[in-house]
Amino acid sequence: MNAEKSPGSRIAKHAVLGDMPVQKELTIYFEGKPLKALEGEPIMAALVAAGVTVFRYTKKGSPRRMFCGIGRCTDCVMTVDGVPGVRTCVTEVREGMRVERQQGVGNWNIQAEADHA
């Protein structure tokens, strides 16, 4: 299948679907570094486009990568704006959000969770 890619490893023109719609660019922060994301896309898509392949580590330190991509497994859970356990494959990016890899079950900060709600 021939597909032209746009900057950030996203498909700009698909062989069957044609031109992809232009989306507004947002900035998110992954482990403190700014990354470009597209409005409406899942966090996972923005991270994969930026070359991120490991999303979290188990309690024993094993890396976890993208698996189901539909919110059923927990391989993509990360800490988002201080809240651990966020399924990044089904959570849309927001301007300025802060995303970090999670170790084990994460650090549950009750105040951050209340601020996120």
Number of domains the chain is built from: 1
Closest CA to 116 of 104, 25, 94: 94
Beta strand pairing call for 56-57 and 102-103 = parallel
Quick check: is 85 in a domain? yes
Q: Give the SS3 label for residue 23.
A: coil
Q: Is residue 117 part of a domain?
A: no
Asked if residue 116 is part of any domain, the answer here is: no
CATH number at residue 36: 3.10.20.440
Euclidean distance between CA atoms 14 and 74, whole angstroms: 30
What pLDDT, on a 0 to 100 scale, did the predictor assign at position 21?
A: 76
Q: pLDDT tens per residue, the chain (117 residues)?
A: 444 444 457 777 888 988 877 789 999 999 999 999 999 999 999 999 999 999 999 889 988 888 888 888 888 999 999 999 999 999 999 999 999 999 876 676 655 555 555
Whether 103 maps to a domain, the answer reads yes
